Amino acid sequence: MVDFSQLLLDSLRGASLLVGEIAGANAFDRQLLADINPEALLNFDQKLGHLYEDALTVLLDASESVELLASNLQIINGQKQTLGELDYVLVDKRPGQSIHLELAVKFYLAVEVEGEWQFPGPDPRDNWQRKLDRMCSHQLRLSQTPEARAVLKERFGIDSIEVRQLVYGCLFYPMSAEECPQPAGVAVDCSKGRWLYVSEWDMAFPEVETVQFISKPLWPVEIIDEVRKGLETVAVGELMQSAQIRCVMFVFEDSDMRWFLVPDGWRPGAS
């Protein structure tokens, strides 16, 4: 039986990052994570972001290189308004440096609209530029606000804290696109896949009868042999039926490239 909890932990340590460096928030040094897999049974019956927060917490807790002080630390102002949360507050034991670490798992599909490229998510109301702006203007700056600095000083004695990020995910290009620009902020060596509309399938892959379906908790996991052993093989008709409602991820049985099959009504900004 494939142990997806262990494969997910491995992925956090080694999978390609969607984002490399952001001004003021470099990528977290993953060598600080536990270098062996602690025994863990992750709850896959929850939102993707929460699942990966749980998994990263396991690796931080088990690490001999860091001390995890807090996770999901709420920052509240004097009017009792929540300004946001710090995903993780930890200490790198070697230099004794405090770190505010933000985690994200995101997927974006490149779409050319009237000569301009956009990068919406499977939920087309989402898009990469909005996410990047939000990260840079709010999430990655939250620990530097007076309210956060007061909490960090009071609870942990922290006077100075550095900001780091880990953004996992994949960028998907249209099936027929020969060239596509790299969006701002995305790592050059990020994982890349392809996507197509349901109506394009019969012309593109008329001979394909089955594919391997990738359930959402495994979307960020790169397809290695051990992962493939646990994927469900489904008929193309079943895949297309699901894709009439929402974007579904799959992989062909002779390839490790991830694909999205997308509803025909899917468009950037659509509700």
Contact 261, 243 (CB under 8 A): yes
Write phi, then psi, for 107 (nearest 5 degrees).
Answer: -135, 135
Q: Which amino acid is at 266?
A: W
- The string of pLDDT tens digits covering residues 77-116 is 888 889 999 999 999 999 999 999 999 999 999 998 888 8
Place of tokens 């998510």: 121
The Cα–Cα gap between 176 and 112 comes to: 11
Q: Which amino acid is at 198?
A: V
Model confidence at 206, pLDDT cuts 50, 70, 90, reads very high
| Domain ranges, ordered by start, for the chain | 4-262
- The string of pLDDT tens digits covering residues 135-180 is 998 999 999 999 999 999 999 999 999 999 999 999 999 998 877 8
Give Cα 244 distance to the centre of its chain: 24
Model confidence at 24, pLDDT cuts 50, 70, 90, reads confident
The structure's pTM equals 0.93
Place of tokens 């390839």: 255
Residue 271 has pLDDT above 80, yes or no: no
Q: What is the mean pLDDT of the chain?
A: 93
The Cα–Cα gap between 15 and 166 comes to: 11
The Cα–Cα gap between 219 and 169 comes to: 8
